[in-house]
């Protein structure tokens, strides 16, 4: 059946995302069937032998300085190191004062911050989704520990944890790794998300993510987490993993639940890989700014966002900030639910 005849019964729809506080256009006429949505540039498995990779065990001397490793002996399972090419510098001393005398109506501050790399595994050929849930849990605990260390620096306002998998998703190294970037400002997208959550709370008296219950958007669930395609997903087959219990900051979440989160993350990555032809992807931990008021904790709820790279942004998206998604979230969730895999353990 052609994509045109497949989609004639579905009209375009605009949906508002109360979390990001923005509109998304769903236009099924622009898409194939959801089951045909495959990556055109699948990521090949890492070669097993890569002696020149600085992230491999035995090549530690080729990396930037180490912050910590787990365990703390030569046979490590993960390492956290400084980024050799940091976006911000940890060596700028003094407060990040604003400068306005630049002849333009704009502001600037010194580029102080922390940019770290988490090497998730010592073996070059092992991806995150290949690891056991307990080992993915250790990676998540490393994020938590590093954020807690950075949080003591008063001028840092926000820490973004992210992973780029595949060159087109921004990865410059094929060895499985993720990053943390600690900023002296709160990014505009984070502020918009925070304000969106606040608006929903002011209207309803409830947290927008605690309220997520739609079964047609559910992919899978565990004791303490659910995984969904969000109601107004910005990107096709975007996924969120949300803690069931209200929690504002990822780095304050219970350590004993990280293995469970690792198992659900592994399951989502494997489903995405199998159904979408192993696409490049990004994942981000969307948490709250480090310094928030007590009253703001009631509506701030962290989640883990997974975005497969299946379509690019065009001029409309860049100009308007409004995205066009060719796959309705309930259709994407159904496709992902139907990928039968055992619960990761």
Task: Sketch out the chain's domains with CATH numbers.
Answer: 53-96+103-337 (3.30.428.10)
Do 52 and 321 meet the contact criterion of CB atoms below 8 Å apart? no
Residue 41 vs residues 174, 177, 276, 336: alpha-carbon distances, Å: 15, 20, 10, 20
If one compares 267 and 32, the residue with the highest pLDDT of the two is 267
- pLDDT at 248 > cutoff 50: yes
| Rounded distance between C-alpha atoms, residue 140 and residue 123, angstroms | 18
| pLDDT given for residue 67 in this prediction | 97
| pLDDT given for residue 11 in this prediction | 81
- Lowest-pLDDT range, 122-126, 163-167, 233-237? 163-167
Please tell me whether 56 is known to bind a ligand: yes
Residue 162: CB atoms within 10 Å? 15
If one compares 12 and 219, the residue with the highest pLDDT of the two is 219
| Rounded distance between C-alpha atoms, residue 25 and residue 311, angstroms | 14
Task: Name the band, by pLDDT with cuts 50, 70 and 90, for residue 230.
Answer: very high
> How high is the mean pLDDT of the chain?
87
- Lowest-pLDDT range, 84-93, 148-157, 224-233? 84-93
- Lowest-pLDDT range, 166-175, 191-200, 234-243, 244-253? 166-175
3-state helix, strand, coil in the chain (%, to 5): 30, 20, 50
Half-sphere exposure of 199 (CA within 13 A, CB side): 13
165 part of the active site: no
First and final C-alpha spacing in the chain = 39
Task: Name the band, by pLDDT with cuts 50, 70 and 90, for residue 10.
Answer: confident
Tokens of 195: 């304000």
Task: Name the band, by pLDDT with cuts 50, 70 and 90, for residue 172.
Answer: confident
Catalytic residue among 115, 127, 165, 177: 177
pLDDT in tens, 259-303: 999 999 999 999 999 999 899 999 999 999 999 999 999 999 999
Please tell me whether 53 is known to bind a ligand: yes
Q: What is the mean pLDDT of residues 301-320?
A: 91
Please tell me whether 322 is known to bind a ligand: no
| pLDDT given for residue 123 in this prediction | 95
| Rounded distance between C-alpha atoms, residue 308 and residue 268, angstroms | 11
Sign of CA dihedral 311, 312, 316, 321: positive
Residue from 43, 47, 70, 74 nearest 61 by CA:
74
- Lowest-pLDDT range, 100-104, 187-191, 314-318, 338-342? 100-104
pLDDT in tens, 38-78: 666 665 555 555 778 999 999 999 999 999 999 999 999 99
Do 65 and 59 meet the contact criterion of CB atoms below 8 Å apart? no
| pLDDT given for residue 97 in this prediction | 64
Q: What is the mean pLDDT of residues 122-148?
A: 96
């Amino acid at each position: 059946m052609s994509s045109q005849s497949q989609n004639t019964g579905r009209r375009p729809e605009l949906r508002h995302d109360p979390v990001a506080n923005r509109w998304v256009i769903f236009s099924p006429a622009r898409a194939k069937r959801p089951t045909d949505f495959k990556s055109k540039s699948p990521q090949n498995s890492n070669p097993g032998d890569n002696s020149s990779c600085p992230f491999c065990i035995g090549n530690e001397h080729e990396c930037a300085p180490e912050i910590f490793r787990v365990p703390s002996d030569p046979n490590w399972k993960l390492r956290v190191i400084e980024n050799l090419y940091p976006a911000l510098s940890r060596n700028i001393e003094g407060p990040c004062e604003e400068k306005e005398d630049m002849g333009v109506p704009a502001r600037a501050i010194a580029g102080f911050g922390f940019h770290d790399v988490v090497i998730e595994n010592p073996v070059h050929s092992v991806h995150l989704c290949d690891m056991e849930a307990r080992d993915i849990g250790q990676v998540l605990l490393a994020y938590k520990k590093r954020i807690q260390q950075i949080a003591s620096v008063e001028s840092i306002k926000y820490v973004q944890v992210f992973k780029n998998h595949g060159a087109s998703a921004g990865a410059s190294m094929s060895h499985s790794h993720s990053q943390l970037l600690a900023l002296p400002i709160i990014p505009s997208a984070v502020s918009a998300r925070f304000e969106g959550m606040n608006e929903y709370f002011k209207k309803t008296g409830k947290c927008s993510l605690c309220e997520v219950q739609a079964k047609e958007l559910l992919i899978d669930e565990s004791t303490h987490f659910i995984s969904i395609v969000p109601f107004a997903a910005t990107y096709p087959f975007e996924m969120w993993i949300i803690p069931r219990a209200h929690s504002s900051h990822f780095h304050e979440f219970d350590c004993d639940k990280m293995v469970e989160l690792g198992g659900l993350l592994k399951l989502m990555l494997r489903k995405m890989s199998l159904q979408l032809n192993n696409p490049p992807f990004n994942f981000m931990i969307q948490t709250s700014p480090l310094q928030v008021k007590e009253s703001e904790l009631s509506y701030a709820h962290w989640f883990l966002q997974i975005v497969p790279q299946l379509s690019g942004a065009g001029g409309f998206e860049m100009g308007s900030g409004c995205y066009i998604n060719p796959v309705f979230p309930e259709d994407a969730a159904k496709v992902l639910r139907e990928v039968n895999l055992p619960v990761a353990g």
